[in-house]
């Protein structure tokens, strides 16, 4: 894989910060965007930037066609059998709230249980806390084993009693640990529970096949996979979407409206009220093309290489605690760590002065930080366009932090 050639497509990677070449290691927060994505958005606004669905004129027909073609492209990308299973949302957060509100609040009742983990991003955990509070359903957690840094799934059959839905991530954003999703989905289905998969960190870094996984709901964000901000996807099995109430009401999601009542459009429009992020969808189309050109297997391999390099350097250093699974094959491209005696925010500030961007703090995962017994961590998260040189710069910054605080 010719990383240097790919890097030329990403203007962000050629910028400078604090008068140094910029090293971007906060890809779990959002990825850099290639010129192809920026160009696709610009082309829409300049050449045919009108609304979809509503116009009978040529430009609107073109925008509508490209919008719908992107839905089909997304379906192919995750191997969904039917593009009507693809709902465009504002991001993973909205997708998560949509499922919790339109499925959870309608179909759960007192006596039911929701099984999740304390490793979830707040946008995945908090909506289900709210569902349980409103419906009387019980929120249960798969135990976490602090020794291994993994979930302890040995008691899953017991835990799944009365569980109607399991809510789990494919890769945690805080440490990069990847729970055994396939086992959890199989076990959940054997016990009659549905599975909601937070794919925000997964779909952007690994090949994902929703048909093979047989997952019921899955969501992810375009901006974490080279695409624009303000756009996400909810995948769901069609019968579930058909049975669910709309999440938002307004134009485009209706079939008939009378003064006192309305009926709904079919899926997916039923869940896409209002003017969508058309430019974003067309940019996302270019992002998927780009990822397919690189190849998701190559993305995943390169990120594994970067992680191995970082872990190897960490092992040779003293006073670095690395978080996540001890079994490195269960880790995605996230290097989450703390330096003895140095607060992660202080480290982040020193690294920033060195031109290296990482994320510090609790990573929208406070319960996970509580399990780890830390207030936060320093997180370097990789994308396929990162180089070993980027990681060398990270460790140079770590040395500098040591000399300042040591
Ligand atoms: C694992 C995980 N889930 C959900 C989200 C929420 O994504 P968004 O902010 O794009 O809605 C994030 C964002 O960092 C995440 O890392």
Please give the helix or strand (H or E) that residue 128 lies within, else none: helix 122-135
Q: So what's the pLDDT on residue 406?
A: 73
* Residue 113 confidence class, pLDDT cut points 50, 70, 90: very high
Atom of ligand 1 nearest to the CA of 169: 1
pLDDT digits (tens, 9 = 90+) for 288-299: 999 999 999 999
Instruction: Output the CA 75–ligand 1 centroid distance in Å.
Output: 20
Tokens read off for 18: 């604090």
Q: How far apart are the first and last CA of the chain?
A: 39
Q: So what's the pLDDT on residue 1?
A: 80
Statement: the pTM of the whole predicted model exceeds 0.75: yes
**Alpha carbon distance 355, 357 (integer Å):** 7
pLDDT digits (tens, 9 = 90+) for 325-334: 999 999 999 9
Number of Cβ within 10 Å of residue 353's Cβ equals 15
Q: Is the pLDDT of residue 346 over 90?
A: yes
Residues 303-320, mean pLDDT to the nearest whole number: 97
132 an active-site residue? no
Residues 195-201, mean pLDDT to the nearest whole number: 98
Which residue among 89, 172, 181, 221 has the greatest number of ligand 1 atoms within 8 angstroms of its CB, and so is best to mutate? 221
Q: Is the pLDDT of residue 241 over 80?
A: yes
Q: So what's the pLDDT on residue 53?
A: 87
Instruction: Output the CA 289–ligand 1 centroid distance in Å.
Output: 22
Which residue among 92, 172, 367 has the greatest number of ligand 1 atoms within 8 angstroms of its CB, and so is best to mutate? 92
Torsion of CA 111, 112, 117, 122, to 10 degrees: -100
Residues 239-266, mean pLDDT to the nearest whole number: 97
Residues 6-13, mean pLDDT to the nearest whole number: 98
Q: Give the closest residue (by CA) to ligand 1 atom 7.
A: 92
**Alpha carbon distance 344, 103 (integer Å):** 39
Residues 10-27, mean pLDDT to the nearest whole number: 98
**Alpha carbon distance 207, 295 (integer Å):** 9
Q: So what's the pLDDT on residue 98?
A: 98
**Alpha carbon distance 191, 160 (integer Å):** 7
| Closest among 171, 166, 217, 162 to 187, alpha carbons compared | 166
Count of all residues that appear for the chain in the document: 406
* Residue 131 confidence class, pLDDT cut points 50, 70, 90: very high
Q: So what's the pLDDT on residue 226?
A: 98
Instruction: Report the pocket of ligand 1 as residue ranges, CB < 6 Å.
Output: 28, 91-93, 121, 123-124, 169, 173, 198, 200-201, 221, 232
Residues above pLDDT 90, as percent of the chain: 98
Residues 220-245, mean pLDDT to the nearest whole number: 98
Q: So what's the pLDDT on residue 10?
A: 98
**Alpha carbon distance 33, 168 (integer Å):** 28
Instruction: Output the CA 234–ligand 1 centroid distance in Å.
Output: 13
* Residue 55 confidence class, pLDDT cut points 50, 70, 90: confident
Residues 101-111, mean pLDDT to the nearest whole number: 98
């Amino acid at each position: 894989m010719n990383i240097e050639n790919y890097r030329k497509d990403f203007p962000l990677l050629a910028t400078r910060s604090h008068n140094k070449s910029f090293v971007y290691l906060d890809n779990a927060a959002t990825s850099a965007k290639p010129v192809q994505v920026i160009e696709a958005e610009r082309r829409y606004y300049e050449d045919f930037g009108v609304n979809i669905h509503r116009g009978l004129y040529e430009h609107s027909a073109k925008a509508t066609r490209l919008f719908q073609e992107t839905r089909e492209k997304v379906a192919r990308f995750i191997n969904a059998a039917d593009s009507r299973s693809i709902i465009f949302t504002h991001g993973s957060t909205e997708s998560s709230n949509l499922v919790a509100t339109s499925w959870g609040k309608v179909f759960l009742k007192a006596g039911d249980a929701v099984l999740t983990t304390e490793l979830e991003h707040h946008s995945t955990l908090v909506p289900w806390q709210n569902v349980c509070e409103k419906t009387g359903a019980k929120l249960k957690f798969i135990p976490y084993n602090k020794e291994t840094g993994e979930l302890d799934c040995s008691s899953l059959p017991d835990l799944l009693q009365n569980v109607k839905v399991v809510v789990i991530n494919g890769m945690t954003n805080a440490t990069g640990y990847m729970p055994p999703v396939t086992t959890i989905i199989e076990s959940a289905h054997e016990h009659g529970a549905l599975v909601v998969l937070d794919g925000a960190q997964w779909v952007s870094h690994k090949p994902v096949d929703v048909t093979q996984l047989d997952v019921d709901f899955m969501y992810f964000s375009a901006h974490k996979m080279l695409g624009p901000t303000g756009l996400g996807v909810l995948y769901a099995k069609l019968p579930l979407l058909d049975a669910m109430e709309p999440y938002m009401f307004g134009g485009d999601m209706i079939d008939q409206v009378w003064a006192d009542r309305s009926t709904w459009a079919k899926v997916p429009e039923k869940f896409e009220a209002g003017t969508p992020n058309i430019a974003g969808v067309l940019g996302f189309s270019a992002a998927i093309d780009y990822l397919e050109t690189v190849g998701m297997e190559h993305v995943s391999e390169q990120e594994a290489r970067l992680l191995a390099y970082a872990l190897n350097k960490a092992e040779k250093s003293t006073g670095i605690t690395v978080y996540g699974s001890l079994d490195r094959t269960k880790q995605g491209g996230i290097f989450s760590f703390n330096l003895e005696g140095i607060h992660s925010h202080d480290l982040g500030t020193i690294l920033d002065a060195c031109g290296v961007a990482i994320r510090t703090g609790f990573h929208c995962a406070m319960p996970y930080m509580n399990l780890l017994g830390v207030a936060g961590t320093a997180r370097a998260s990789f994308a396929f366009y990162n180089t070993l040189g980027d990681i060398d710069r990270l460790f140079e910054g770590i040395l500098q932090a040591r000399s300042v605080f040591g």
